[in-house]
Amino acid sequence: MDNRLVLLTALLVMLSWMSVGTYAATNGTAGTNGTSGTNGTSVTNGTAPPITPNTTVTELMTPINRADCGIGELCATQPSDCDPSTSSSCFFLAAKQSSGRNFDIGLSGESDGYLAATLSLDSELGGNDTTYVCANNNGVVKLFGTVLNNGKLTLRDLPVDSVKGKITGKKIQCTFSATVPAQRARASQVAIAISTGTFNSSTNALGDPITQLKSPLVDLANPNTTVTNETTTGTAAPAVTTAPPITTNSTVTELTTPINRADCGIGRLCAAQPSDCDPSTSSSCFFLAAKQSSGRNFEFGLSGESDGYLAGTLSLDNILGGNDTTYVCANNNGVVKFFGAVLDNGKLTLKDLPVDSVKGKITGKKIQCTFSATVPAQRARASQVAIAISTGTFNSSTNALGDPITHFKSSLVDLENANATVTNELSTTSHAITIQQSLTQALLFTVGVLGLTVL
Ligand SMILES: *[C@@H]1O[C@H](CO)[C@@H](O)[C@H](O)[C@H]1NC(C)=O
Ligand SMILES: *[C@@H]1O[C@H](CO)[C@@H](O)[C@H](O)[C@H]1NC(C)=O
Ligand SMILES: *[C@@H]1O[C@H](CO)[C@@H](O)[C@H](O)[C@H]1NC(C)=O
Ligand SMILES: *[C@@H]1O[C@H](CO)[C@@H](O)[C@H](O)[C@H]1NC(C)=O
Ligand SMILES: *[C@@H]1O[C@H](CO)[C@@H](O)[C@H](O)[C@H]1NC(C)=O
Ligand SMILES: *[C@@H]1O[C@H](CO)[C@@H](O)[C@H](O)[C@H]1NC(C)=O
Ligand SMILES: *[C@@H]1O[C@H](CO)[C@@H](O)[C@H](O)[C@H]1NC(C)=O
Ligand SMILES: *[C@@H]1O[C@H](CO)[C@@H](O)[C@H](O)[C@H]1NC(C)=O
Ligand SMILES: *[C@@H]1O[C@H](CO)[C@@H](O)[C@H](O)[C@H]1NC(C)=O
Ligand SMILES: *[C@@H]1O[C@H](CO)[C@@H](O)[C@H](O)[C@H]1NC(C)=O
Ligand SMILES: *[C@@H]1O[C@H](CO)[C@@H](O)[C@H](O)[C@H]1NC(C)=O
Ligand SMILES: *[C@@H]1O[C@H](CO)[C@@H](O)[C@H](O)[C@H]1NC(C)=O
Residue 349 sits in a domain whose CATH number is 2.60.40
Asked, for residue 43, whether it belongs to a domain, the answer is: no
Q: Is 33 in the pocket of ligand 2 (CB under 6 A)?
A: yes
Hey, whose CA ends up nearest to atom 10 of ligand 5?
A: 128
* 101 alpha carbon – ligand 4 mean position (Å): 16
Same domain, 291 and 159: no
Please list the residues that pair with 190 across neighbouring strands. Answer: 218
Distance 57 CA to ligand 6 centre (A): 9
**pTM (2 d.p.):** 0.46
Please report the pLDDT score of residue 434 as a whole number. 28
**Atom number, ligand 2, closest to the C-alpha of residue 42:** 5
| 127 & 97 share domain | yes
Whether residue 268 sits in one domain with residue 135:
no
41 pocket-lining for ligand 3 (C-beta < 6 Å): yes
User: What is residue 419's predicted lDDT score, i.e. its pLDDT?
Assistant: 67
The total of other beta-carbon atoms located within 10 Å of residue 100's CB is 20
> Would residue 245 count as lying in a domain?
no
> pLDDT truncated to tens, each residue of the chain (455 aa)?
444 433 333 333 332 232 222 222 222 222 222 222 222 323 333 456 889 999 999 999 999 998 888 888 888 888 878 899 988 889 898 988 888 778 899 999 999 999 999 988 877 888 888 999 999 999 999 999 999 998 899 999 999 999 999 999 999 999 999 988 876 544 456 778 888 999 999 998 999 998 888 877 777 777 767 676 665 444 433 333 356 778 899 999 999 999 998 888 887 888 888 888 999 998 889 999 988 887 778 899 999 999 999 999 988 877 888 888 999 999 999 999 999 999 998 899 999 999 999 999 999 999 999 999 988 876 544 456 777 888 888 888 888 888 888 888 887 777 777 667 677 777 533 332 222 223 222 222 222 233 333 33
Ligand nearest to the CA of 47: 4
Note the pLDDT of residue 132. Answer: 94
Calculate how far, in angstroms, residue 353's C-alpha sits from the geometric centre of ligand 12. Answer: 30
In a shared domain, residues 111 and 185: yes
Q: Does 42 fall in a domain? A: no
pLDDT at 418: 67
Ligand 8: distance of its center to the CA of 224 in Å?
A: 6
State whether 290 and 206 are in the same domain.
no
Question: Omega before 79 cis (within 30°)?
Answer: yes
444 lies in which domain range? 2-21+431-454
* CB of residue 157 inside a 6 A radius of ligand 3: no
Indicate the residue among 236, 265, 287 that finishes a domain: 236
One domain for residues 144 and 195: yes
- Cis preceding linkage at 274, omega within 30: yes
Residue 52 lies in a domain: no
User: Residue 46: CB within 6 Å of ligand 4?
Assistant: yes
The answer to whether residues 274 and 328 belong to one domain is: yes
**201 CA from centroid of ligand 7 (Å):** 8
Q: Report the separation in Å between the CA atom of 267 and the middle of ligand 12, taken as the mean of its atom positions.
A: 9
- At 130, the amino acid letter reads T
Residue 381, pLDDT score: 46
Compute, in angstroms, the gap from residue 184 CA to the centroid of ligand 3: 14
Ligand found nearest the CA of 341: 10
Residue 39 inside a domain? The answer is no
Dist. CA 305–CA 279, nearest whole Å: 10
Angle at 302 between CA 299 and CA 306, to 5 degrees: 160
Looking at 236, 267, 287, which one is the last position of a domain? 236
> Atom 13 in ligand 5: which residue has the minimum CA distance?
127
Determine whether the shortest distance from the Cβ of 149 to ligand 5 is under 6 A.
yes
Same domain, 418 and 331: yes
- Which residue of 249, 356, 371 sits with most ligand 11 atoms within 8 Å of its CB, as the best mutation to test the pocket? 249
Q: Are residues 217 and 341 in the same domain?
A: no
At residue 37, what are phi and psi to the nearest 5 degrees?
Answer: -75, -20
Q: Using a 6 Å cutoff on CB, does residue 251 contact ligand 11?
A: yes
Q: Is 169 exposed, middle or buried (0-12, 13-18, 19+ CB in 10 A)?
A: exposed
Backbone angles phi and psi of 175, in degrees to 5 = -130, 150
Number of domains in the chain: 3
**Residue 353 DSSP label:** -
Q: Is the CB of 333 under 6 A from ligand 11?
A: no
**Domain contains 48:** no
Q: Is 26 in the pocket of ligand 2 (CB under 6 A)?
A: no
130/342 Cα distance (integer angstroms): 29
- Please say whether the beta carbons of 406 and 320 come within 8 A: yes
89 lines ligand 8 (CB under 6 A): no
Pair 84, 184 in one domain: yes
The partner residues of 337 in beta bridges, in order of sequence, read: 330
In a shared domain, residues 387 and 435: no
Nearest CA owner, ligand 2 atom 5: 36
> Domain for residue 99, yes or no?
yes
Question: Which of the listed residues 207, 236, 265 is the one where a domain comes to its end?
Answer: 236
Say whether 451 sits in a helix, a strand or coil. helix
Tell whether 258 and 199 lie within a shared domain.
no
Distance CA(10)–CA(30), nearest Å, equals 31
Residue 35 lies in a domain: no
